[in-house]
Structure 1
Amino acid sequence: MTDSTPPCVAVLGTCDTKLEELLFVRTHLTEAHHVRVKLIDVGRTATTHPAISITQASILAMNPSDHSLPHPIPDVRGLSRNDLITALAARAGPILGSLAATHDIHGIVALGGSGGSALAAEVFAKLPLGFPKLLVSTMAAGDVGPFVRDADVTVTYSVVDIAGLNDILCPILENAAAAVAGMARAYHARTHAEAQADQQKTRRKRIAITMFGVTTPAVTHAREVLAKYDCTPYVFHATGAGGRAMERLISEGFFDGVLDLTTTELADELVGGVLSAGPHRLEAAARRGVPQVVSVGALDMVNFGPRDSVPEKWKAMAGSGERKLYEHNPSVTIMRTTREECAQLGRTIAEKLRDADGEKVEVWLPRGGVSAMDVEGGPFEDRAADEALFGALRSGLVNAGGGKGQVKVVERRENINDPTFVEALVASLAEMMHLEPKDRV
């Protein structure tokens, strides 16, 4: 396809229940915004209409991405709603992913209620970051986390149910069509320009960095030091979604190195905080053999919302002096991890890194504290808890390295935010990645 060819937008939905609304969006895309459209039917009952580009039957005929699912698909009339969504998403996702990879589509818009939104989320997860994804949903006024996940999804609330055109829903669908058409045009132009640029130059090496408010000074200085090298840093806020997005991009081969200064999401996963990145945090780089330097930033804390949202058992223990709670701001309350929790976090990190290539991973321990709050006289200073963390890590990484060299553990006396700690850590990653200073490039 040439740069002058109009972009193409995929329109995804259940044609057996929402054909009128899907065709309304399709018409506005083609007539008002002059883009091409592929209408994709993911309904329970197969629908026949000349505007449908990819039918339900053709989707169900595909091999599923989840190999535990049956192929060919059994009679969908006997499937539960959840099993139907799983079956369709496992087959539609790779179809859309392939179309995006070959630049046959340049954006996607989905319409749905709870089931349709869940199906769309599964499909969106198969599409690359930066690819336009728009969901018009009846569920968008609540928690959209299950629909967004670690993808860059734009969500619009339908206000009324997507069950018949009216003067509330129609303007919303018109806006959705305009939005996805604009995003698709921008994506089409950008990817065309990037393809031309890639033919003319070698890209700079990419480095993922993790940051939290209490490790911001460290990351800010790390970026300043990295500016001397021919590389591009990408900072991820360690808020759960940030860690998941980074792990996904590492898995997809986007990054050449990882400066994982802030592994705090592991504490939320262990203790039950609100910023967990899930059980697979800190696994992608080791699995792919991407050079990484790992530290223990903000493992002194677990995150909750306003103080009233903290589970009663923790508030009770704080009241008796058994735990430390700190109101970071009116919306965020943090809790100091205990000695036992820190020991478990050390064991968890060691277990995740034990089989990594020892020549491509180092663990750096700041004995002066793991955050801006874990300093001498600070509200979370607890050297016994820190030592439990460090000791478990040291013990767990003895003879680690997957038979490819010992995983190196570096201990220094500074706090994690100390410039000298950061400079040494960045220099080590630069050496591991064979980064060249800009003046030599």
Structure 2
Amino acid sequence: MTKTVLVIGTYDTKDEELHYICDCIRAQGGAVVSMDVSVLGDPSQPADVSKHAVAAAAGASIQEAMDAGDENHAMQIMARGAAALTAQLYAEGRIEAMLALGGTMGTDLALDCAQALPLGVPKYVVSTVSFSPLIPADRLSPDIQMILWAGGLYGLNSVCKSSLSQAAGAVLGAAKAVETPNADRPVIGMMSLGSSCLKYMKHLRDPLQARGFEVAVFHATGMGGMAFEALARQGYFAAVMDFALPELGNLMVGSVVNGGPDRLTNAGALGIPQIVAPGCTDLIDFAGWQDIPDAYADRPFHAHNRLIKSSGLSPDERRALVRDIAGRLAQAKGPVHVLMPMQGVEEWDREGQPAHDPEGLAAMVDEMGKAITAPATLTMLDCHINDPAFADAALAVVDGWLADGTVKPDL
């Protein structure tokens, strides 16, 4: 089947470049729906979705955008309209992928359009600021692809054609090859970190599959949490095992390695059953390039690699984090069962390991007992999170939910 790519850009300033990439897609057997998100000028030939339609989708008009007083306000109008139309075109089955071109203005708008599409729909942004610290993590959709638009500030040339032609092939190839999430069994979404730090997934995956579930494990390093939450918002999970919550501690202290402000809320908002544990909530992760804030400069920290380094939370900070976790879970509309492993929450906090902190762990256990209240259920476990006993307790909760019909496997 021919795959159709939505191509988004400001045709008043990048007309030649946009037509070039559309021609590249067509030359490879793809089809194009073009969307003009410019404000002041007009394309050399009409786009499939005009700038007037984009403004109207935002409840405005091009004249209102022109009269907005500044280009930021004007482009935010266009971004709202473009995102709404992107979602509509996909829902109507008119597109299978999107590709947007831009500098900072076009990229700002493109990020909203990408977030309007579900996980599994190819979404590419060719930008002069790809991979730049100008782009905050929470603006990135979980499976977005970005290509640096080298030499692409003004006009076609051999340098920028290299980026554009690669993007055309990449987005069309992705549209042809992608297997969009469409599980044939109920899915349990699980959060974890690397298996050297958290090991429960090794004990849980096979038994859960034997019970009729598919298991999808997400890496709690910011983007993994965002992907997990995106699928939770779509109602993709039959249940979740949210056993790694360092992204919430990172958010609390201002680290960029966070899963966004809605972490630990989306499954609950839809009533999806949740089993939760505070895995790795003793650690704070910072980007390798990020300066350690002064408040944490005197604490021991571990440089995991050149991309990520970790410090620790104080007992009072652990209490504050537990209260935050409890507050998020209190909003849940479905069953919540919290497991508190009282002997430790990640491999490096065992006795003799660098993160061993009995006082901090005791504070977390104490605060968990105070903060988790009905209707949520709290089970204190005399084990470490990496012990088989922890996995056994999680399976016991699942078995109880299977017995009473809270969750249903595919048998």
Which of 268, 271, 282 lines up with 1:289 in the alignment? 271
Q: Which residue number in structure 2 is paired with residue 208 of structure 1?
A: 189
Shift of 1:217: 1.1
Is the aligned partner of 1:123 residue 2:118? no
Q: Kindly indicate whether residue 240 of structure 2 is the aligned counterpart of residue 258 of structure 1.
A: yes
Are 2:67 and 1:78 aligned?
yes
Residue 236 (structure 1) aligns with: 218
Alignment-mate amino acid for residue 32 of structure 2:
V
Check conservation: 1:326, 1:333, Cα contact below 8 A. yes
- 2:290 corresponds to 1:301: no
Partner of 1:185: 176
CA-to-partner distance for each residue in 1:188-214, whole Å, 9 max, x for gaps?
xx57xx9xxx8xxx9311111001135
Tell me if 1:29 matches 2:25: yes
Equivalences for residues 87-102 of structure 1 within 5 A = 87-102=77-92
Task: Tell me how far 1:52 sits from its aligned partner.
Answer: 0.9
> What is the CA–CA distance in structure 1 between the aligned matches of 2:307 and 2:87, rounded to whole Å?
38
Q: Tell me which residue corresponds to 1:104.
A: 94
1:234-383 mapped onto 2 (5 Å cutoff): 234-306=216-288, 309-315=291-297, 317-318=298-299, 324-357=300-333, 360-383=335-358
User: Partner of 1:150: helix, strand, or coil?
Assistant: coil
Task: Give per-residue Cα distances to partners, 1:271-297, cap 9 Å, x unaligned.
Answer: 223322222211111111100100000
Distance (Å, rounded) in 1 between the aligned partners of 2:13 and 2:43? 13
* Runs of 5+ consecutive residues of structure 2 not aligned to the other structure: none
Which residue in the other structure is 2:42 paired with? 47
TM-score under structure 1 length normalisation? 0.85
* Deviation sequence 1:125-168 (CA, Å, 0-9, x none): 00111111111111125237548613312111111134111121
Q: Cα gap change, 1:301/1:412 in structure 2, threshold over 3 Å: closer, same or farther? A: same
1:54 alignment partner, SS class: coil
Mark the CA change 1:145 to 1:427 in structure 2 (over 3 Å): closer, same or farther. Answer: farther
Unaligned runs of 5+ in 1: 65-69, 319-323, 401-405
Q: What is the identity, as a one-letter code, of the residue corresponding to 1:228?
A: A
The 5 Å alignment of 1:411-430 reads: 411-430=380-399
Q: How many residues align?
A: 405
- How many Å separate the matches in 2 of 1:15 and 1:177? 17
Q: CA deviation at 1:430?
A: 4.1
Q: Using the alignment, how far apart are the partners of 1:304 and 1:146 within structure 2?
A: 14
SS at match of 2:198: helix
Residue type of the alignment partner of 1:76: A
1:59 aligns with 2:54: yes
Q: TM-score, normalised by structure 2?
A: 0.91
- Root-mean-square deviation (CA, aligned residues, Å) is 2.4
Q: Per the alignment, do residues 273 and 204 of structure 1 end up closer, same or farther by CA in structure 2, a change over 3 Å counting?
A: same
> Contact conserved, 2:301 with 2:309, CA < 8 A, in 1?
yes
- What's 2:157 paired with? 166
Question: 1:74: Cα distance to partner?
Answer: 5.8
Partner of 2:126: 136
Contact kept in structure 2, 1:365 and 1:412, CA below 8 Å: yes
For 1:321, the equivalent position in structure 2 comes to none
Aligned match of 2:359: 384
Structure 2 SS opposite 1:227: helix
User: Percent identity between the aligned chains?
Assistant: 30
Residue 85 of structure 1 and its aligned partner are, at CA, apart by 2.2
Report Cα offsets for 1:16-65 as digits up to 9, x if no partner.
100111111112222x2122211110012252544510000011112x3x
* Distance of aligned partners of 1:14 and 1:337 in 2 relative to their CA distance in 1, 3 Å threshold: same
